[in-house]
Amino acid sequence: MADEAKARGNAAFSSGDYRAAVGHFSDAIALAPANHVLYSNRSAAHASLHDYTDALADAEKTVELKPDWSKGYSRLGAACQGLGRYDDAVSAFKRGLEIDPGNEALKSGLADAQAAAAAGPSRGRGAPPPSNPFGDVFQGQEMWAKLTADPTTRGYLQQPDFVKMMQDLQKNPTGLNLYLKDQRVMQALGVLLNVKLHTPGQDSGFEAAAEADSPAASKPDNKPPKEKEPEPEPEPEPMEINEGEREVKERKAHAQKEKEAGNAAYKKKDFETAIQHYTKAIELDDEDISYLTNRAAVYLEMGRYEDCIKDCDKAVERGRELRSDYKMVARALTRKGTALVKMAKCSKDFEPAIETFQKALTEHRNPDTLKKLNDAEKARKDLEQQEYFDPKLADEEREKGNECFKEQKYPEAVKHYTESLRRNPKDVKAYSNRAACYTKLGALPEGLKDAEKCIELDPTFSKGYTRKGAVQFFMKEYEKALETYQEGLKHDPNNQDLLDGVRRCVEQINKASRGDLTPEELKERQAKGMQDPEIQNILTDPVMRQVRKPMS
């Protein structure tokens, strides 16, 4: 992964292994060629190796990829300065300051480049380094980069007098002997030369060489200047990943604040303000899809369903790219489905909403989403019935069914009665007639269900009781059939079909009580009795099971 290679490059740079850092950053660039930070990092590594030509190429690529990033111009200026192209360096630092006027590192680089340019005409590529043997280690932005990378000298950069001394050395490296007794300067020089120098006395050979440059070294002046300049901002970590991460973190924090402000506005029903805050949060951080789903919720409340759906689609797409929490993706899909339901005007309009709810449930099985799905399916069914409702056509279909019934074409009759009921779901006659067909076909459970629907729709419809009693009689549930007939007689006492039904049931019940049943009838009644829930409860009772044990 590019991030892993970049991290290895950071570690190598911080340890002073710049060639390894270049290799790691090159690996990262191969994986993420559009990442401007990687080119900037590699430019810093090249510059640390004094390979300013490659440093310049990477700096130019950084600026090309991210022209509004001031750090790129800092890299560009440092590379130009390393090549002796001071006018180009001045131009680069100025361009960076146009983007970030308060950047102290750019200001310092500009001052160095202007001083070098004023010292003589701009030199071309490959200009000779300064005559002072240590002068080049103090030149350009690399000095600040190296000091920032070292954990010890990084702390010194917070001390104004140390920063002032290093700035003086950048302007006049020959004055190094003035600061050699300051352990911080020695430590910094060791970091810049990539050698261990803890105190001046620990590396006498180096100290002697340094002192040989000037007899005045015996009287160093370590006093800080009376008038301190404003503390310059230390050069950031040479690996801009730190700066980039800090910038991302700040943007995310800002986005969260915008989200909270949007939530507060939403609770106050100030929807326009809420949208503004959520929109700003989206602009600041496109890796948190909750900003999109929250704005979608506002659009939903405002009745702007198309906008709500667009935000939800974006949230789902972005969420899958980022592998966001599946619950967040499910929330976006549920919100989209809700908007589609709100827009539905006919039964077919519910189909995309139902499909969206089903997708949401595959992401996360949420009870609220499941309820919305069930409600949408019911609403679609109700609308289908309303759209199909036509009493006139229902009567025509019922008459066709009657003709088929008379001709004993019972399956065809069932089809016509079913179509009649689709056209008019509350026609008790159609239910009654279909129940009669089911009875003729031996589909007794279906016939019983239709007969019960008759009674449910119209408790005074005597034909419903006749149909139900007949089905129960054929199922040999004589006691239940008798109750059904008797219930029907309460509404129609003189109905002959009901009276005949009562008589038939009484005959069968009396026959059973006298024991006049054939072996087949007796066996069948015993089997039905064993299926009775009350009998089952008795037989499974622990006490009853103990009683039956000796009998077995």
pLDDT, tens digit, for every residue of 96-112? Answer: 999 988 888 788 888 88
pLDDT at 373: 94
pLDDT, tens digit, for every residue of 298-318? Answer: 999 999 999 999 999 999 999
pLDDT at 199: 45
Identity at 526, one-letter amino acid code: Q
Asked if 376 and 398 count as a contact pair (C-beta separation under 8 A), the reply is no
Between residues 409 and 202, which one has the greater pLDDT?
Answer: 409
pLDDT at 158: 80
pLDDT at 48: 82
Q: Write a three-state SS string for 311-327.
A: HHHHHHHHHHHHCCCHH
- The SS3 of residue 54 is helix
Nearest of 208, 225, 226 to residue 217 by alpha carbon: 208
Q: Write a three-state SS string for 417-455.
A: HHHHHHHCCCCHHHHHHHHHHHHHHCCHHHHHHHHHHHH
Cα separation of 78 and 110, whole Å?
10
pLDDT, tens digit, for every residue of 398-434? Answer: 999 999 999 999 999 999 999 999 889 899 999 999 9
pLDDT at 243: 60
Asked if 363 and 326 count as a contact pair (C-beta separation under 8 A), the reply is yes
Question: What are the structural domains of the chain?
Answer: 1-117 (1.25.40.10), 141-193 (no CATH), 247-387 (1.25.40.10), 389-548 (1.25.40.10)
Burial class (CB in 10 A: 0-12, 13-18, 19+), 434: buried
pLDDT, tens digit, for every residue of 249-299? Answer: 888 899 999 999 999 999 999 999 999 999 999 998 888 999 999 999 999
The whole-number average pLDDT for the span 130-145 is 64
Cα separation of 458 and 451, whole Å?
11
Asked if 74 and 148 count as a contact pair (C-beta separation under 8 A), the reply is no
pLDDT tier at 540, thresholds 50, 70, 90: low
Residue 425: partners with Cβ closer than 8 Å, 6 or more residues away:
385, 389
Task: Report DSSP state, residue 219.
Answer: S
pLDDT tier at 203, thresholds 50, 70, 90: very low
The whole-number average pLDDT for the span 494-502 is 93
Give exposure, 97-112, as e/b (b: 16+ Cβ within 10 Å). Answer: beebeebbbbbbbbeb
Nearest of 189, 233, 188 to residue 209 by alpha carbon: 189
Say whether pLDDT at 45 is over 70: yes
Between residues 189 and 467, which one has the greater pLDDT?
Answer: 467
pLDDT at 530: 54
Range name among 40-54, 367-381, 471-485 with the lowest pLDDT average: 40-54
Asked if 38 and 25 count as a contact pair (C-beta separation under 8 A), the reply is yes
Left if phi > 0, otherwise alpha if psi is -120 to 50, otherwise beta: which for 35?
A: beta
